[in-house]
C-alpha cells in the first residue's frame, strides 16, 4: 500500500490477537474511515477500500473502532 503516500505500520505478529495495522499518510497515522478518500485517482475510476479477508490468508481482519484508541486499526477478528 504505497499509492499517494500511504503506507501501513504493522504491530504484532499476523494472525494473532496482538496484531494491529495502522494506515499512515506521509508518515502520519490516519483513520481508515475518515482520512482515506473513496476515489484513488482524479478520473474517479479507481476506488480505495479496506479488505477484511485478504486473499490466501487464514485470519479475518476487522477495522477496530474502539473508544480507547485514538485511531482505527485493522486487527484480527475474534469470534
Q: What is the pLDDT of residue 2?
A: 44
Question: How much of the chain, in percent, has pLDDT values that exceed 70?
Answer: 80
Cα maximum dimension of the chain: 40
**What does the domain layout of the chain look like in residue ranges?**
3-71
Q: Does 1 score more than 80 pLDDT?
A: no
- Taking residues 9-33, report their average pLDDT: 87
Q: What is the pLDDT of residue 65?
A: 62
Give the tens place of pLDDT for each residue, 27-51.
888 888 788 888 988 999 999 887 7
Q: Torsions phi, psi of 4, nearest 5?
A: 55, 35
Listed in order, strand segments (DSSP E) in the chain are 6-11, 20-25, 28-30, 61-64, 73-76
Strand, coil or helix: 49: coil
Sign of the alpha-carbon dihedral angle for 22, 31, 56, 59: positive
Predicted TM-score (pTM) of the model is 0.68
Amino acid at each position: 500500500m504505497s499509492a499517494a503516500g500511504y503506507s501501513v505500520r504493522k504491530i504484532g505478529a499476523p494472525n494473532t490477537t496482538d496484531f494491529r495495522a495502522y494506515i499512515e499518510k506521509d508518515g502520519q497515522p490516519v483513520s481508515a474511515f475518515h482520512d482515506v478518500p473513496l476515489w484513488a485517482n482524479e478520473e474517479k475510476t479507481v476506488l480505495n477500500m479496506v479488505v477484511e479477508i485478504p486473499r490466501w490468508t487464514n485470519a479475518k481482519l476487522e477495522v477496530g473502532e474502539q473508544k480507547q484508541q485514538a485511531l482505527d486499526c485493522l486487527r484480527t477478528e475474534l469470534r
